[in-house]
A and B are shown apart, each in its own frame.
Chain A
Amino acid sequence: MNKTWIVTSETYLRQTKSWSFLLLVLMPFLFIGMTFGISYVATPNKSKSDIAVVSTNSALRTSFIKQSGVATTKKYANTSAAQKATNRSDINGYIVLKATGKQVSATFNGPNEINSGDQAKIQRFLATAQTQLNVQQAKLTPTQQQALAIQPKFKQQLQKKTASDKAAKTISFYILVFFVYLILTTYSSITAQEIAAEKGTKIMEVIFSSTTPRKYFNGKVYGVLLMIVTQLLVYLLGGALVVQFAQHSRITAGLWQQYASVIGKVLHNLLSINLLFALAAVLLYTVVSAFCGALVTRVEDAGKASQPVIYLNLLTFVMAMAFQGSPSSGVVTVFSYIPFFSSYLMPLRLINGTATMTEAVISMIILLATVVGSMWYIGKIYGGLMLQTDELGFWGNLKRGLSLK
């Protein structure tokens, strides 16, 4: 079997079986689950939020319950029972519907004001019922009834830069930047510490007597990359489940419908070339983290190994945040082609429409070329760095490591 693959699978299986990885992957779902759970507990149960409908006109009552769209209960059909249920807080209140002579009326009785959504639904139902009553009272001919049935038309011609568009861009940017920042910090740290710990235990001499440092290094990087892909797949699958749940849950369905357009745009911004920028960035940071880990000589210093990469990531993160409001700035344009920075700044430009797909592809090619170049060079000097175990400081370790191979 290919030795690179053996190292890849060993790295991947060992890390993904760890509790820390499981927690890392499952943490967002635990938070979302907790949020739903708390919302569910905090939201009054269904019967308590229902409204009873009382009317001497049973046809009108049935029609309201079926057509109004208001959450109602059939349980309480008379005023006395509805009043008692309201007093016991079993229901939100009750509506008394009347159709006396030429007018339809409704009176809500309850401890709190009815919400604006339900008010609109009740108004709409009453208007329809009143129109039907008016038509009956007027004794119109079929032609007149048809003429009166014609409704006005309302259409929306949305401009490109609408408010929802802007909100979608802002949300996409923040999600992307924080996601990339967190994932880079996490995996830089995992990689550097893993490599530094291995170097500290001196197992490398045994391993390098079996396979080349380059194959081993590549295997390590691929193993970490597989972990990231696993995490992304879990997020995508879990995200799809959360979306399904959010669309159908009574807690979130309304919000979902209201913001469907924004959510669609955010998902489009995230599931695009921007995701590839995130993946390529993780690969580059992983390679550089492995290099940093290889420069440490003691297990105790494994924690320090990732610091240079974490600071670099912090710098690029701060820069992305600083230029969030000015994506067309010259600085952003230039740095959106520079590896390490491009993973934040090119997506920023793409989300805001200040970069074309051609520019994004050029930036991606530069980033991938840097990843490949770094892997080639660090793979070449990796053996020397890992076998250099004297404590000579950063530059001393580097110099000695380079002289070995």
Chain B
Amino acid sequence: MLTVAHISKNFGTLHALKDVSFDVHDGEIMGLIGQNGAGKSTTFHSILNFLKFDGAITWNGQALTAEDYNQIGYLPEERSLMPKLTITQQIVYLARLKNQPAKVIKPKVNDWMQRFAVKGQPTDKISKLSKGNQQKVQLICTLIHDPQLIILDEPFSGLDPVNSDLLKQAILAAKKRGAAIIFSSHDMSNVEEVCDSLVMLRNGEVVLKGKINDVRNQFGRTRLFLTTDWTADQLAALPNVAAVNALGDHRYRLQLTDAEAGPAIFDAVTAGHYIQEFSQQPPTLDEIFRTEAGGLDHE
């Protein structure tokens, strides 16, 4: 288990991290979300000991040692490989730095290339690969040594839906074998789909933290989706309805001021008759991100 306890980091007068704390358990996937400059990469750099910081970061209750770094798989935000090496040379070199013998890693290269559908031969130079394939090779470098702690900084950035699915499968497979996984993302659908928990940072501070559903539910079930013959004006006139969005084909999304108003609205709209849809939900992560993180701004 990774424990980040009360870490703070300043760059001159800039407070990059302020008293950030969270845990990531074995077999858990945690999403670290926040706007640009919120402190996500600084948090990762602190875990990896790239920076001096105040506070404590421990792995299974102990400060991280050189041996522990062999169990880490890290994918940085800016993709980078050594263009003069071949795919095999690159993967084996980085794996050897994780104390993995070349004879163990080499036979795995082909299998991993197939798993990520890398187009090319193991003997191809990195410089000859497309950007997408280079990104997949970097993911292989991150995961091939079966790390126990996986840190992925914007792993879905630049991947098409097919390759995003391949990555999700790899992440879920790592979770299944008990790895603790943290990844940052701007795409809340990926976070919602894959993560067990999340931490949201704003200006270096934790503003939200917890299991995905708990976080959503703490905002209340104030989103109501319904399909009815009523008009938007009729719906807006109902008590505790703050806003109505027409979604087309008699489908509406209502913003409630009070989640408890749901049964009364149900009674009013159905009047004892069948309606096709009545679904009261908490806000989506995307909506929470927009309100809590202060706006969506892609890096």
Contacts and interface: CB of A to CB of B under 8 A. Distances in A.
Interface of A: 1, 3, 6-7, 10, 14, 198, 201-203, 205-212, 383, 387, 403-405
Interface of B: 11-12, 45, 48, 50-52, 66, 69-70, 72, 74, 76, 78-85, 93-94, 96-99, 101, 138, 141-142, 151
B45 A206 contact: no
B75 to A, nearest CB: 8
Contacts of A10: 93
A212 B51 contact: no
B51 A206 contact: no
B28 to A, nearest CB: 20
Contacts of B79: 202
B96 A1 contact: yes
A48 B169 CA distance: 83
B148 to A, nearest CB: 13
Contacts of B141: 206
A203 B96 contact: no
Nearest to A201: B80
A3 B97 contact: yes
Nearest to A216: B97
A405 B82 contact: no
Given A201-B80, A202-B78, A205-B76, A210 B51 contact: no
A208 B81 contact: no
Contacts of B45: 387
B50 A387 contact: yes
**Secondary structure call for the B interface:** loop
A201 B82 contact: yes
A209 B81 contact: no
A209 B51 CA distance: 12
Contacts of A206: 74, 76, 80, 94, 138, 141-142
A403 B11 contact: yes
B91 to A, nearest CB: 12
A209 B80 contact: no
Nearest to B84: A14
Nearest to A403: B11
Nearest to B41: A205
A209 B98 CA distance: 9
Given A202-B80, A205-B74, A211 B96 contact: no
Interface majority SS on A: helix, strand, loop or mixed? helix
Given A403-B11, A405-B51, 18 more contacts: A1-B96, A3-B97, A6-B96, A201-B82, A203-B81, A205-B50, A206-B94, A207-B94, A207-B97, A208-B48, A210-B72, A211-B66, A211-B69, A211-B97, A212-B66, A387-B45, A387-B50, A404-B51
B258 to A, nearest CB: 48
A5 B257 CA distance: 64
Nearest to A5: B96
Nearest to A219: B97
B19 to A, nearest CB: 20
A383 B97 CA distance: 16
Contacts of B82: 198, 201, 203
Contacts of A205: 48, 50, 74, 76, 78, 80
8 contacts: A1-B99, A14-B84, A205-B48, A207-B97, A208-B48, A209-B74, A210-B94, A404-B50
B180 to A, nearest CB: 15
A205 to B, nearest CB: 4
Nearest to A209: B74
A10 B69 CA distance: 20
A319 to B, nearest CB: 38
Closest 3 CB pairs of A and B: A210-B97, A202-B80, A209-B74
Contacts of A383: 50
* Residue from the set A212, A383, A404 with the largest chain B CB neighbour count within 10 Å: A404
A227 B81 CA distance: 23
B97 A405 contact: no
A4 to B, nearest CB: 11
Contacts of B52: 404-405
A205 B153 CA distance: 11
Contact of A6 (B12, B78, B97, B142): B97
B72 A209 contact: yes
Contacts of B76: 202, 205-206
B72 A203 contact: no
A166 B138 CA distance: 61
B98 A210 contact: yes
Nearest to B145: A210
Nearest to B81: A203
B50 A210 contact: no
A248 B179 CA distance: 70
A201 B83 contact: yes
Contacts of B72: 209-210
Nearest to A203: B80
A202 B82 CA distance: 9
Contacts of A211: 66, 69, 97
Nearest to B80: A202
Nearest to A202: B80
Nearest to B101: A1
Nearest to B79: A202
Contacts of B74: 205-206, 209
B143 to A, nearest CB: 12
A211 B78 CA distance: 19
A208 B48 CA distance: 8
A205 B99 CA distance: 17
Nearest to B97: A210
A273 B48 CA distance: 44
Contacts of A198: 82
A387 B79 CA distance: 14
Contacts of B48: 205, 208-209
A209 B48 CA distance: 6
A365 B284 CA distance: 68
Given A1-B96, A6-B97, A403-B11, A209 B69 contact: yes
B50 A208 contact: yes
Nearest to B51: A404
B69 A210 contact: yes
Contacts of B94: 206-207, 210
